[in-house]
Amino acid sequence: MGLLRSGCPERARAAVEAVAAGRPVVLVGDAGRAGAGDIVFAATVVTPALVGFTVRHTSGFVCVALPAEACDRLGLDAMHPDADGLDRGAFRVTVDLNGTGTGISAAARAATIAALGSPASVASDFTRPGHVVPLQVQPGGVLGRPGRAEAACDLAQLADLPAAGALCEIVSQDRPGELACGAELERFAAEHDLVVVHIADVVALRRRSEPQVRRVVQTALPTVHGRFTAIGYASIWDAAEHLALVAGPVDPAVPVHVHVECLTGDVLRATACPCRRELDDVMRRFAEASRGIVVYVRPAGLAGACALRRAEIDRAEVDRAGVAATVQWILADLGAAPAARPEPVSAPRTRARRSTSGRRAACPPASSPRAVRVSSPAPPAAPRR
């Protein structure tokens, strides 16, 4: 997934409450954007004052992140037919709402932004080109791609508002000509009483509040170690598939072992890593005791294979927070993890509308409803010639 930072759901909840209350938040990007940040707010609660504030502190290139269905409904074609790549391909043709004059004033852009977010708008409501830049987000939002546009759109939707998030990069006062990042973003947020939220926080909140897998198959599975019930799961947000091997009855105290796929060890019996031996040992123990669950995790993307991992791929590439979320949802489905249940994200509107300015979310250590034993592909060995 390319998102290595571990997120804080509580910080995302604070941001969702702020967005629901019509306030902007400071969204901090990932390392790939050098920690730059955006002012983000829900498109449908925009005001001319909010656009004025945004333009004063940002690049002024105000974008509105929208799902593909909205871009189709509003006739927002790609900005350039040859645009490729996730970032450049996301840019849609710029627009102004009809009747907004020059289209560039804060009042005009606020009207355009609000119209882009309104489910009642139609393609003929806009003139092209204009002064507001629509961005088409990837399916699944931040769970499909952990990008700034996806996070902006998700925050609006999590706030129980139409899926449309305005965003614009904050510029540096310390280093004229550059984007603000790091401590300057924190200082900016403190000065203006804004919640700071990272893309990884939005990912973490959605992983906690929305199921990450669905059960697709179940069968009895005799093995050399004994009988298991094999239950297959498909990831809802990517192409990954996982397996639970269940011995005996399931209850909240049943021992759990999490094994992350290692093709070379598990299947080819390579001796370069202990993966196969660990898997054999735990399956034997669980089968003998007729008690235990092995969760076999196969993250999407590069096949997990200790002996094949390229030296330049650091162990940190394993998305541990994603694996943990997947395991919790599988255990919840099996009835082995009562702590993992869908949680509502947005507070009831009456509560969410209260002022959330200046709120600083305490971020406790990542909760671990139960201890599980985890084995996963080992760090890459030095390349051999």
Q: Binding residues for Zn ion, per CB under 5 A?
A: 262, 265, 273, 275, 306, 377
Instruction: State the DSSP code for 236.
Output: S
The nearest distance, CB 306 to Zn ion, in angstroms, is 3
123 or 381: whose CB is closer to Zn ion?
381
Comparing CB distances to Zn ion, the nearer of 137 and 275 is 275
Nearer to Zn ion, 116 or 275 (CB): 275
Report the candidate in 276, 243, 204 with the shortest Cα–Cα distance to residue 15. 204
Nearest residue (CB) to Zn ion, 156 versus 245: 245
Which of 27, 273 has the CB closer to Zn ion?
A: 273
Distance of alpha carbon 229 from alpha carbon 248, whole angstroms: 8
Residue 328 CB, nearest approach to Zn ion (Å)? 23
Q: Which residues contact 181 (CB under 8 A, 6 or more apart)?
A: 34, 35, 36, 37, 172
Closest approach, Cβ 270 to Zn ion, in A, equals 7
| Euclidean distance between CA atoms 333 and 111, whole angstroms | 45
Tokens of 216: 């697709």
Nearer residue to Zn ion within complex by CB, 149 or 262:
262
Output 148 or 309, the one with its CB closest to Zn ion.
309
Which helix (H) or strand (E) is 269 found in, with range?
none
Quickly list DSSP for 47-64: -HHHHHHHHHHB-S--EE
Of residues 242 and 276, the one with the C-beta less far from Zn ion: 276
Instruction: Give me the least distance between CB of 94 and Zn ion, in Å please.
Output: 50
C-alpha to C-alpha distances, 365 to 5, 9, 201, 277, nearest whole angstrom: 14, 11, 13, 32
Q: How far is the CB of 296 from Zn ion (least distance, A)?
A: 13
- Nearest residue to 95 (alpha-carbon basis) of 82, 72, 113: 113
Kindly state the tokens that stand for 205: 């909140």
**Residue 263 phi, psi (nearest 5):** -55, -45
Q: For the CB of residue 310, give the shortest distance to Zn ion in the complex, in Å.
A: 15
CB distance 279 to 231 below 8 Å = no
Question: CB-wise, 273 or 347, nearer to Zn ion?
Answer: 273
Sign of the dihedral through C-alpha 310, 315, 317, 320: positive
> Smallest distance, Å, CB 287 to Zn ion?
22
CB nearer Zn ion, residue 356 or residue 375? 375
Q: Phi, psi at residue 309, to the nearest 5°?
A: -65, 130
Work out how close the CB of 2 gets to Zn ion at its nearest, in angstroms, rounded to a whole number: 22
Q: How far is the CB of 374 from Zn ion (least distance, A)?
A: 13
Q: Are strands 196-198 and 25-28 parallel, antiparallel or unpaired?
A: parallel
Q: Taking Cα atoms as reference points, which of 94, 114, 210, 126 lies closest to residue 164?
A: 114
Contact yes or no for 279/294 (Cβ under 8 A): yes
Cβ burial of 78 (10 Å; 0-12, 13-18, 19+) is middle
Q: Take residue 110 and report the two structure tokens written for it.
A: 């606020």
Nearest approach in angstroms of CB 278 to Zn ion is: 9
Give the residue carrying structure tokens 């900016």.
188
